[in-house]
Amino acid sequence: MSKKTTGLEPRAFHWVIKDRLAVSERVGGYGFQHRRVRREEEIIWLQDHGINSVLSLLGSNQNSTAYEFAGLAFSSYPVEPDLEPEKAEQVFAAIAAALAPPDAVVLVHKDTIDDTLAGLLAGYLIYSEMLNDPILATDVIQRILARAIGPEGRRLIPAH
């Protein structure tokens, strides 16, 4: 018998590292599509699936109060759309810091899952030494996200 879940799954939700690191589009939607009720439903779903921390890569922290009110740890590391490869390591360190507590189950998000976010996730797999081959890291993230990583994202993946 399966566990009944409540809430609404965030758009483009994927586990990158099962039960430790997940990715999705911005909780509640972005821009004119953002809805408070949808955000609340997605937060319920995230909690039901073990997420207890959110790392936003957006420049604003508009959802931070909602996350904290729901009991989720929140951190933010703004990532510019034209992130330079030499600054990617700082983002990897922010992901590592969010995952540092042994019980942390982290959701990383931007408005959408774009090449930059996909490249950062592949790069994190190299940075964290879970993988040591950038080609394999690229392939793993492309399979997880069911999308290709374009040149903007690939340039963020360390050669190791």
Tens digits of residue pLDDT in 122-152: 999 999 999 999 999 999 999 999 999 999 9
- The pairs formed by 27-32 with CB atoms below 8 angstroms and a separation of 24 or more are 27/54, 27/63, 27/67, 27/107, 27/109, 28/63, 28/66, 30/111, 30/112, 31/111
Secondary-structure class of domain 14-154 per CATH: alpha beta
**Model-level pTM?**
0.93
- Domain ranges (residues) in the chain: 14-154
Tens digits of residue pLDDT in 63-100: 899 999 999 999 999 999 899 999 999 999 999 999 99
